[in-house]
Amino acid sequence: MKKLVTMFLLSFAMLTTHAQSKNLMAVQSAVNKLTAAMISGDKASLEAVASDHLSYGHSGGHVEGKAEFVEKIASGKSDFVTIDITEQTVEIVGKTAIVRHSFAAATNDGGKPGTVKLKVLLIFQKENGSWKMLARQAVKA
């Protein structure tokens, strides 16, 4: 009986670990899709990765919803030439993922070259089988 209980617990632990690993890879993929969409400025890609309930906080204090976030990047008002993500951590709690990373970018907002260095907190939520950015808050690094 003890062997049966032990085998059951080990099997459950392995399945749980596999599910967490699969979700971790899916969240990391969603962050990569977000980064690629921000660089390309592709409106459909930006809309696909963002939740309809998005709260997108900038380091200067301005907060946008999904429509404004997508419009600014798709129109080129906010133009990311390159984005470098480092020191990323991901923690998954149920259908919510907490992502933290350092964010360095070359920009060309309104034709004016610049750089930005931030610490970013992203909250992704699993919606209909896909991880969507629900919230973002940045602070200057």
Model pLDDT for residues 24-69, shown as the tens digit of each residue: 999 999 999 999 999 999 999 999 999 999 999 999 999 999 999 9
pLDDT tens digits along 124-136: 999 999 999 999 9
pLDDT at residue 105 in the model: 98
- What are the structural domains, with CATH classification, of the chain? 2-140 (3.10.450.50)
pLDDT at residue 113 in the model: 97
Global pTM reads 0.85
For residue 117, give every residue at least 6 positions away whose Cβ sits within 8 Å of its Cβ, in sequence order, or none: 102, 103, 104, 140, 141
For residue 43, give every residue at least 6 positions away whose Cβ sits within 8 Å of its Cβ, in sequence order, or none: 70, 74
Strand blocks (E) in 19-95: 50-57, 63-64, 80-93
- Average pLDDT, whole number, for the chain? 91
